[in-house]
Structures are given as structure tokens and as C-alpha cells.
């Protein structure tokens, strides 16, 4: 049985979404998004930095959401939710799968820190505005790629688990403008998926 160590409003939501999409059975260890849980000795034994998600699969333990997604779709669904290596769409799948953490999530992280995590007297408006501009630039190619498509490579895939979750977060932060109609429509499609709704209800 898979066990997911989870905290709300984190990348762990991606893994709940994935497991629900694949209809895999799993247990969940829900923790508070707070140092008393995440930085506890018990959880640091799972993740040295006290972060989520962490997935246990028998004697195997793995963290980092992208690594977990790849592990699950290969080990438990024989490559489900991804094109075959020789498929013409495979390079594009890889690009968007990794674009999430490489380009979109770094400014998202800064925005969350500057608007949610830090107390008002410690926030830096310059850092916030720079991150917002960077996020808008990072999202623009995604909006362009979605023209005429429902999902990133056409059909729903694990790239949408990764980048779709990041786009949802970006939109919730008010950083998906009306000048990105394809991306706006895409976020609506993501939010409408039953498996995504289940993941977000755990937040």
C-alpha cells in the first residue's frame, strides 16, 4: 500500500491528484503545514528538510513531487499518463513536466513567502514585484502552447499534474491575467476534474 505524507497548500496536492487520477489505493498521513509537524523528529526521519510530499511504498521511500510522479506512473501504471519514448509528443511532454519546477514554481514560491508566510513588517515589495513579473513571463509560453488544446500535449498527461497544479496556484495568487485566455480556460479544465477536486478538498 502506498502511503503519502501530506500537508495542505503544498506540492503534496499534486500526488493526491495523481493517485486519484490513476485510481490507485493509498493511505494518507495528513499533517499541519506548520513546523510542529513538518520539522518534528518523526518527519525529519522521512525528509531531511522536513518537507512534503513524501511517499512510502513498502520499503521504498521517495520525496520530491516530480520524482514521485515519475516513480508512480512507471512502477504502478506501466508508464500511464505519459507518451511512449518514441512518441512524437514525448519531448514536449518532458519539457512541460520539468518547466513547472524550473520556471514557474521559483517565482510562485517567492510570491507566497512575500504575501503569506512573512509577517507584513518583513515583506519586500521589490522582491514581490520582481517575482510577479517573472511569473507572468514564465506563464506566457504556456498560454501560447495551449492555443487549440485542452491540455499541454493535447491529451491529459502527467505534465498536467505538474504544471497544471502550478498554474492553478498561480491563478489563485492572481497572477494569471485576462491577457492569457488559453491559460485561464486550462485552469478551469483542471479544476473541473474530479480527481483534482478530491485533492483540493484535502487542503
What one-character-per-residue DSSP string does 13-59 give?
A: HHHHHHHHHTT--EEEEE--SSHHHHTSHHHHTT-TT--S-EEEETT
Mean pLDDT of 188-200: 97
Q: Could you tell me if 9 and 33 are in contact, meaning their C-beta atoms sit under 8 angstroms apart?
A: yes
Instruction: Write down the pLDDT at residue 203.
Output: 73
Contacts of 168 (CB under 8 A, 6+ apart): 187, 190, 191, 196
pLDDT at 198 over 90: yes
Taking the C-alpha atoms of residue 22 and residue 48, their distance in angstroms, rounded to an integer, is 29
- Give 83-87 contacts, CB < 8 A, sequence gap 24+: 83/153, 83/157
pLDDT at 143 exceeding the cut of 80: yes
pLDDT digits (tens, 9 = 90+) for 55-68: 999 999 999 999 99
- Averaged pLDDT of the chain: 97
> What tens digit of pLDDT does each residue of 83-119 get?
999 999 999 999 999 999 999 999 999 999 999 999 9
Q: What percent of the chain has pLDDT over 90?
A: 96
Q: Measure the CA angle with vertex 165, ends 20 and 32; round to 5°.
A: 75
pLDDT band at 176 (very low <50, low <70, confident <90, very high): very high
Query: So what's the pLDDT on residue 18?
Result: 98
% of the chain at pLDDT higher than 70: 100
Domains annotated for the chain, with CATH where assigned, are 2-81 (3.40.30.10), 90-193 (1.20.1050.10)
Task: Quote the pLDDT of residue 79.
Answer: 87
Q: What is the DSSP letter of 77?
A: T
Whole-number pLDDT of residue 52: 97
Is the pLDDT reported for residue 202 higher than 90? no
Beta sheet of 60-63, edge-to-edge order: 26-30, 2-6, 54-57, 60-63
Residue 81's pLDDT band (cuts 50, 70, 90):
very high
Which residues, at least 6 apart from 164, have a Cβ–Cβ distance to it below 8 Å?
Answer: 151, 152, 186, 187, 190, 196
Q: How confident is the model at residue 128 (pLDDT cuts 50, 70, 90)?
A: very high
Amino acid at each position: 500500500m502506498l502511503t503519502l505524507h501530506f500537508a495542505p497548500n503544498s506540492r503534496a496536492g499534486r500526488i493526491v491528484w495523481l493517485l486519484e487520477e490513476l485510481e490507485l489505493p493509498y493511505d494518507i498521513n495528513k499533517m499541519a503545514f506548520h513546523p510542529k509537524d513538518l520539522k518534528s523528529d518523526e518527519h525529519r526521519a522521512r525528509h531531511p528538510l522536513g518537507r512534503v510530499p513524501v511517499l512510502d511504498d513498502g520499503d521504498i521511500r521517495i520525496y520530491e513531487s516530480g520524482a514521485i510522479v515519475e516513480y508512480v506512473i512507471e512502477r504502478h501504471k506501466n508508464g500511464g499518463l505519459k507518451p511512449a519514448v518514441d512518441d512524437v509528443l514525448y519531448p514536449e511532454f518532458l519539457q512541460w513536466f520539468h518547466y513547472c519546477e524550473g520556471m514557474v514554481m521559483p517565482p510562485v514560491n517567492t510570491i507566497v513567502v512575500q504575501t503569506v508566510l512573512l509577517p507584513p513588517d518583513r515583506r519586500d515589495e521589490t522582491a514581490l514585484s520582481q517575482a510577479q513579473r517573472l511569473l507572468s513571463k514564465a506563464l506566457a509560453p504556456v498560454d501560447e502552447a495551449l492555443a487549440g488544446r485542452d491540455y499541454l500535449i493535447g491529451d491529459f498527461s502527467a505534465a498536467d499534474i505538474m504544471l497544471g497544479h502550478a498554474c492553478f496556484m498561480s491563478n489563485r495568487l492572481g497572477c494569471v491575467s485576462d491577457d492569457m485566455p488559453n491559460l485561464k480556460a486550462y485552469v478551469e479544465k483542471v479544476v473541473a476534474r474530479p480527481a483534482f477536486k478530491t485533492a483540493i478538498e484535502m487542503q
